[in-house]
């Protein structure tokens, strides 16, 4: 079955956000630092792999194009231990670069600011090692959609706290070195974040 291409609708949302910015005055930049709980939602029918959750530091950047529209990205690296019924398979790190277009339901001056977002990620894998992983080819990088929801709450005019939930649609191939692909493993991690930040 042909894989559905998610890029046209996601790119359409991002382009619409840029179009909004052309007719509105930018409202500033929000920067926050916090922790994210990364929870892989794995489907691995052949290998039967599972992965540990990971709590990692993350920096968030949100640029407001208008009262209700913003662009958001975050920087962080996550590492997970993979295993199956036979024991430990190995460990691998991931860097999920992503860009989100967000819609805020309340004006930027409101203390409580719930939002939803949609965007694109490009995730690369590195530092792969372990009993089974040492015999595999490098995990293939992947590009796919991201969904987002959350809220910010203004503690005062300068500082805020943020709760953020993202769902990444992510997969990669499991291929022995010099051999044929065993399976395409679906990772689809949830990212649950809590952060504190400042308005600029």
Q: Does domain 7-199 have CATH number 2.40.160.20?
A: yes
Residue 12 has pLDDT above 80, yes or no: no
Q: What's the pLDDT tens digit per position in 61-110? A: 999 988 889 999 999 999 999 999 888 999 999 999 999 999 999 988 88
Domain ranges of the chain: 7-199
pTM, whole model, 2 decimals? 0.83
pLDDT of residue 2: 43
Which residues are registered as beta bridge partners of 34?
58, 195
Average pLDDT over residues 170-192: 92
């Amino acid at each position: 079955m042909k894989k559905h291409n998610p890029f046209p609708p996601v790119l359409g949302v991002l382009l619409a956000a840029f179009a909004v910015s052309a007719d509105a005055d930018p409202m500033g930049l929000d920067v926050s630092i916090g922790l994210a709980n990364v929870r892989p939602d794995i489907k691995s029918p052949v290998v039967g792999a599972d992965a540990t959750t990971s709590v990692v530091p993350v920096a968030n950047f949100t640029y407001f194009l208008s009262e209700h529209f913003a662009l958001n990205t975050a920087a962080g690296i996550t590492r997970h231990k993979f295993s199956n019924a036979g024991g430990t398979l190995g460990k691998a790190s991931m860097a999920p670069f992503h860009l989100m277009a967000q819609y805020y339901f309340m004006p930027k001056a409101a203390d409580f600011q719930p939002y939803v977002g949609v965007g694109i990620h490009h995730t690369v894998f590195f530092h792969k090692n372990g009993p089974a992983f040492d015999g595999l080819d490098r995990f293939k990088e992947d590009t796919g959609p991201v969904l987002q929801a959350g809220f910010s709450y203004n503690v005062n005019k300068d500082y805020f706290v943020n709760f953020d939930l993202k769902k990444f649609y992510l997969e990669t191939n499991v291929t022995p070195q010099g051999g044929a692909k065993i399976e395409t493993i679906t990772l689809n991690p949830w990212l649950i974040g809590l952060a504190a930040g400042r308005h600029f």
